């Protein structure tokens, strides 16, 4: 049997040549792992560490095939908060040991593809590293308050016909009512974010109630899709500093407010978006108003004619949005609640 030494992700691997099993995998393989601290992985950045915790929660739910009722419990699992704690780089991902928890999970491995932008590039395989956007003019369309049983599917057809992906910030009670539509949003290559359970003003209901709104909506989205949403957008854009610290998602705001909810006029919606959009803009619209959905084909056509490329929020922010921060456009962010 021949062995061959390779260098992958900074690790020395001994790979067996030949001897494939029925599954097409090497019959035997030996590898070395590398122990690192979270401080090394994140360059001592607490927001990056919070992003690792976000990925770990999904990994715990996935590993245990947890039902949606367990989502609140995953937020009670004690995950690393100190930079001196250690994890292990392996060929399949970042392996973390866990403290005793209600899921009876002692260890999880976080896939490198889910750690893009969360840990430093040098600890990632090349395929998972961040890189500059390819286009000079980019814009992200975002739609709030859905899913709507009629208008959201109509919008999805428009996006598909124009080869455009967008980010949908959905209300939990509507997700629970129309889970198939939320699944369709994701299946079409779009993103789904958290927009609270029933759209209250977070700055008025208090931190505890706001956090509960987010977790309840995470639960609804997980029930519909099997995935926790990565992003959160507070209703009206209002969020306090305390809420920003406790909500475990990056906060996505906007730089272009179409005010479509007030205009309710397709031509005015079009003009509102076109006049304000710049490269790197995050555009706020709603997929619960017919004039808004009707405006989208023209908005896409005219912005494409100006040389714009449409991207998701993740792509616009180069996969680097982090919990505890709020984002208004590409390169425009600050601490959540400030």
Residues identified as active-site: 144, 286
Q: CB under 8 Å, gap of 24 or more: what pairs does 257-266 form?
A: 257/284, 258/283, 258/284, 258/285, 258/292, 260/285, 260/286, 260/289, 260/291, 260/292, 260/295, 261/286, 261/289, 261/292, 263/291, 264/289, 264/291, 265/291, 266/291, 266/292, 266/294, 266/295
Three-state DSSP class for residue 331: coil
Alpha helices, DSSP H, located in 36-191: 38-42, 46-64, 71-74, 151-161, 172-177, 179-187
DSSP-H helix ranges across the chain: 38-42, 46-64, 71-74, 151-161, 172-177, 179-187, 202-205, 207-225, 241-246, 260-263, 266-276, 290-305, 313-316
10, 112 Cβ separation under 8 angstroms:
no
Dist CA 106 CA 174 (whole Å): 35
With contact defined as beta carbons under 8 Å apart, do 130 and 320 qualify? yes
- Give the list of residues 6+ apart from residue 79 with CB closer than 8 angstroms, or none: 52, 53, 56, 57, 96, 98
Residues 326/333, Cβ–Cβ less than 8 Å? yes
């Amino acid at each position: 049997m021949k062995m061959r030494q390779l260098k992958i992700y900074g690790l020395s691997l001994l790979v067996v040549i030949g001897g494939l099993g029925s599954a097409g995998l090497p019959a035997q393989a030996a590898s070395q792992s590398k122990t690192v601290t979270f401080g090394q992985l994140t360059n001592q950045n607490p927001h990056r560490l919070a992003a690792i915790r976000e990925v770990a929660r999904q990994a715990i739910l996935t590993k245990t095939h947890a039902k949606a009722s367990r989502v609140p419990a995953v937020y009670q699992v004690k995950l690393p908060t100190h930079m001196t704690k250690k994890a292990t780089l392996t060929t399949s991902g970042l392996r973390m040991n866990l403290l005793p928890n209600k899921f009876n999970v002692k260890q999880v491995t976080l896939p490198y593809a889910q750690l893009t932008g969360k840990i430093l590039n040098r600890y990632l395989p090349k395929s998972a590293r961040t890189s500059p956007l390819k286009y000079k003019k980019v814009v992200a369309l975002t739609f709030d308050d859905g899913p709507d049983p009629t208008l959201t599917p109509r919008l999805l057809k428009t996006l598909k016909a124009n080869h455009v992906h967008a980010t949908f910030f959905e209300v939990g009670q509507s997700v629970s009512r129309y889970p198939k539509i939320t699944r369709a949003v994701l299946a079409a290559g779009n993103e789904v974010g958290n927009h609270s359970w029933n759209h209250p003003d977070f700055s008025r209901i208090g931190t505890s109630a706001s956090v509960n709104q987010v977790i309840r909506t995470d639960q609804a989205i997980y029930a519909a899709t099997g995935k926790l949403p990565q992003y959160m957008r507070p209703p009206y854009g209002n969020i306090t500093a305390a809420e920003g610290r406790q909500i475990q998602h990056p906060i996505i705001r906007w730089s272009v407010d179409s005010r479509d909810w007030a205009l309710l006029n397709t031509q005015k919606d079009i003009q509102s978006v076109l006049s304000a959009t710049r490269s790197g803009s995050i555009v706020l619209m709603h997929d619960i108003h017919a004039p808004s959905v009707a405006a989208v084909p023209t908005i896409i056509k005219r912005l494409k004619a100006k040389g714009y490329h449409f991207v998701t929020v993740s792509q616009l922010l180069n996969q680097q949005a982090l919990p505890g921060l709020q984002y208004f456009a590409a390169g425009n962010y600050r601490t959540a609640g400030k």
